[in-house]
Amino acid sequence: MSSKKILIIDDEPDVNTYLEAVLKSNGYDTYSISEVENAMDKVKEIHPKLICLDIMMPKETGISFYSKLRKDKKFSKIPVIIISGVVESEKFNIHSFVSDKTIPAPEYYMEKPINVNKFIKKVKQLTN
Amino acid sequence: MKNLEAYKKHAGNEKIHSRILNELYQQIPDNVAVIDRNFNIVDANNNFEDHFGKWQNKKCYAVYKKLDEPCDNCPTKDVFNKGTPVICDAIGVDKIGKKTHYIAHSFPIKSKNGKEIEYAMELTRTVTETDRWQQEYHILFDRVPCFITVIGEDFRIVRANEAFRNNFGDMVGHHCFEVYKRRKTKCRNCPAEKTFKDGKVHHSQKTGIGKKGQNINYAVSTSALMRGNNSVAHVIEISKDITALKQLEHKVIESERLGAVGQTVAGLAHSIKNILMGLEGGKYIVSLGLAKDDKAMINQGWEMLERNFEKTTSLVKDFLSFSKGRLPELKMVNPGDLVNEIIDLYKDIAAQSGINLKSEIDDKIKSAPLDSAGIHTCLTNLVSNAIDACLMGEHKGNEVIIRVFEERGQLIFEVKDNGSGLDNEIKKKIFTTFFTTKGGGGTGLGLLTTRKIVQEHGGKIMVDSQKGKGSKFRIIFPRKRLMTLYKETKE
């Protein structure tokens, strides 16, 4: 399988370590950062194929980064999996967090703790 | 008819004609001056003198412009040279020294033999007021921070101001709905249409599309420009750009929604899910390490497991301590002793991390009724935060100082560090449930518990912090309130 870059953004270092381990053992190139405020720079630097994103982070929320990403002409099409403990999977609706209705829903939402098999299946689907 | 006949007869009479001319010369609402070839004013009407001042034995340039030599573009000179009338726009100085803007019509007056030009007659009309109004109107129309368009009965834009052109493009002649909203037909609930019908002012809030394709939210008012017969000729649309306001409103709603998550049971669930994710992660990495026989990986996974078990313990402890709803058990204690206890508890940890932990206890401090266990928890939380802040900071020579002193009848505990400090955004959130800056290291309950204990004592907690320079937390207990509370609990 050709290696593909995935960016993980979570303020919990253990979550980053976990997701990196899962993705690396499935042949992906991973990059993780804990400070969401630097995430846009990282996206510009590495041009990831996929982004795994947390919501509740101290300085800036994942939602605010997500809105910025979707408004960015160059990177708006990067698929995003939101991985968070904020709400249950079936209740997640991006527009209960973002009033701007032009912002599309993320490609996928996963509730913490994740189901690894489901996660990998979705990652493969979104990066192919 | 009889009168006209009589007049014609009289007008033929040169004396009457000259009387009429003289009257006209004086009554005409212009300033009239007669100037000779050498720029001398030889005659002028009363209006002229009223406006420009005394003219007798003066040069025209000295009177019109208060100059010592002829003007660069002299219309009088042109009249003498070309023999044809000249109209020019000029700025002069009136008799009180004020700038005056006027239009001058100069024409030649020939000598009796009709061969040469003897004089130039100059009629000047001041335009200062009208001109100023016009300028004011143009500036107001163009520069006012609103979009203004004048719309005709066919809904085409007749005029548009600068702000409108900058945001929507130069679209005069196009239909308003095409320009504001990129529509092919009239908008529903069009305020301009209502004004055309009833001549009244209408208001509405709309979202349009700017020339770069951007959304523009605007609040619009439509007013009628009436014809003489009381029908509406044009509608003026004045719109205020409220895009920034709308965005701010959205942001507030968004942050409030997320803020609410932090303050409810959902916040606790969120913390637990994060810990579970860490435990799952640890388990996964240990299994992976075992499968690959990779000791380093097994160790990494094991540390994750330990860390997240530890977090479970802290969360449960903090949560229990937070949920205890009770009155503080007040006993007379020496505040200095409480500080010394904390120093004993943390001196080793601080020393290992290279942090100088010290106390400053006011010698004269008196005993106070305090819940020792509660204050112990508060100081523990503040000191452990201060140590973490030092570890997160970038400079060396870190120190944490615990002070206790009296100020204006208040007992004050202060924990000061020169660690990483907090920026304004974080300062607003630190007393919010489950808020943590420590990533995986905190439960987000420490400061909340501290605030609760302090409030139960009738006190308050304050923070003074600067990003990169350090923080100072103060717990302030008014002595009087402590005593009142003490008496109440004893009863």
Span B312-349, pLDDT tens digits:
888 777 677 666 555 678 889 999 999 998 888 888 88
For residue B273, give the nearest of A19, A97, A113 by CB distance.
Answer: A113
Please state which of the ranges A80-84, B53-57, B141-145 shows the lowest mean pLDDT.
Answer: B141-145
To which residue do tokens 């499968």 refer? B291
What is the pLDDT, as a whole number, of residue B353?
81
CB A2 within 8 A of CB A28: no
Give which of B395, B444, B386 is closest to B415, Cα–Cα: B386
B274 lies within 8 A of chain A by CB: yes
Distance (Å, rounded) from C-alpha A30 to C-alpha A28? Answer: 6
Distance (Å, rounded) from C-alpha B465 to C-alpha B454? Answer: 19
For residue B440, give the nearest of A13, A21, A61 by CB distance.
Answer: A13
Six-digit token string for B469: 């320079």
Give which of B489, B213, B468 is closest to B369, Cα–Cα: B489
What is the pLDDT, as a whole number, of residue A1?
41
ipTM of this complex prediction, to 2 decimal places: 0.84
B250 lies within 8 A of chain A by CB: yes
Neighbours of B77 (CB within 10 A): 17
Question: Residues B374-388: what's their mean pLDDT?
Answer: 88
For residue A85, give the nearest of B270, B279, B307 by CB distance.
Answer: B270
Residues of B in contact with A111 (CB under 8 A): 273
Q: What is the mean pLDDT of chain A?
A: 89
What is the pLDDT, as a whole number, of residue B435?
57
CB B374 within 8 A of CB B333: no
At B411, is the pLDDT very low, low, confident or very high (cuts 50, 70, 90)?
very high
- Amino acid letter, B51: H
Residues of A in contact with B271 (CB under 8 A): 85
At B429, is the pLDDT very low, low, confident or very high (cuts 50, 70, 90)?
low
**Per residue in B6-60, pLDDT tens?**
656 655 666 777 888 888 888 888 899 999 999 999 999 999 999 999 999 999 9
Three-class secondary structure assignment of B163-205: HHHHHHCCCCCCEHHHHHHCCCCCCCCCHHHHHHHHCCCEEEE
Give which of B336, B334, B359 is closest to B346, Cα–Cα: B359
Reply yes or no on whether the pLDDT at A86 is more than 80: no
Greatest pairwise CA separation for chain A in angstroms: 40
Pick the residue from chain A with its C-alpha nearest to B275.
Answer: A113
A64 lies within 8 A of chain B by CB: yes
What is the pLDDT, as a whole number, of residue A19?
96
Chain A, 2 to 41: residues with Cβ < 8 Å from chain B are: 11-15, 17-19, 21-22, 25, 34
A61 lies within 8 A of chain B by CB: yes
Distance (Å, rounded) from C-alpha B486 to C-alpha B457? Answer: 9
At A17, is the pLDDT very low, low, confident or very high (cuts 50, 70, 90)?
very high
To which residue do tokens 């770069």 refer? B212
**Per residue in B101-119, pLDDT tens?**
888 899 999 888 888 899 9
Beta-carbon contacts of residue B75 (< 8 Å; ≥ 6 apart):
B86, B87, B88, B90, B104, B106, B120, B122
Residue B179 distance to chain A (closest CA, Å): 21
Pick the residue from chain B with its C-alpha nearest to A86.
Answer: B270
Residues of A in contact with B274 (CB under 8 A): 12, 15, 85, 112
Neighbours of A80 (CB within 10 A): 25
Six-digit token string for B77: 């000179």
Reply yes or no on whether the pLDDT at B433 is more than 70: no
Distance (Å, rounded) from C-alpha B66 to C-alpha B454? Answer: 80
Angle, to 10 degrees, between the axis of helix B295-323 and the axis of helix B446-456?
Answer: 20
Task: Check CB contact under 8 Å for A114 and B277.
Answer: yes
Beta-ladder partners of B471: B417, B465
Phi and psi torsions of B247, nearest 5°: -65, -40
For residue B277, give the nearest of A18, A56, A61 by CB distance.
Answer: A18
For residue A97, give the nearest of B257, B266, B426 by CB distance.
Answer: B257
What is the pLDDT, as a whole number, of residue A47?
94
What is the pLDDT, as a whole number, of residue B269?
74
Pick the residue from chain B with its C-alpha nearest to A18.
Answer: B281
For residue B307, give the nearest of A14, A100, A111 by CB distance.
Answer: A14
Residue A15 DSSP SS3: helix
Question: Residues B220-236: what's their mean pLDDT?
Answer: 86
Whole-angstrom Cα Rg for chain B: 44
At A2, is the pLDDT very low, low, confident or very high (cuts 50, 70, 90)?
very low
**Per residue in B197-225, pLDDT tens?**
999 999 888 888 988 888 898 999 999 98
Q: What is the mean pLDDT of chain B?
A: 84
| DSSP per-residue letters across A28-63 | -EEEEES-GGGHHHHHHHH--SEEEE-S--SSS-HH
Distance (Å, rounded) from C-alpha A86 to C-alpha B273? Answer: 9
Beta-ladder partners of B91: B101
Whole-angstrom Cα Rg for chain A: 13
**Per residue in B450-465, pLDDT tens?**
888 888 888 888 888 8
Distance (Å, rounded) from C-alpha B268 to C-alpha B124? Answer: 85
Please state which of the ranges A37-41, A68-72, B435-439 shows the lowest mean pLDDT.
Answer: B435-439
Mutation to test the A interface, candidates B265, B271, B277, B307, most A Cβ within 10 Å: B277
Task: Check CB contact under 8 Å for B250 and A99.
Answer: yes
Reply yes or no on whether the pLDDT at A59 is more than 50: yes
What is the pLDDT, as a whole number, of residue B260?
47
Task: Check CB contact under 8 Å for A86 and B277.
Answer: no
What is the pLDDT, as a whole number, of residue B425?
63
Question: Residues B394-410: what's their mean pLDDT?
Answer: 88
What's the gap between Cα A59 and its chain centre? 17
Reply yes or no on whether the pLDDT at B265 is more than 60: no
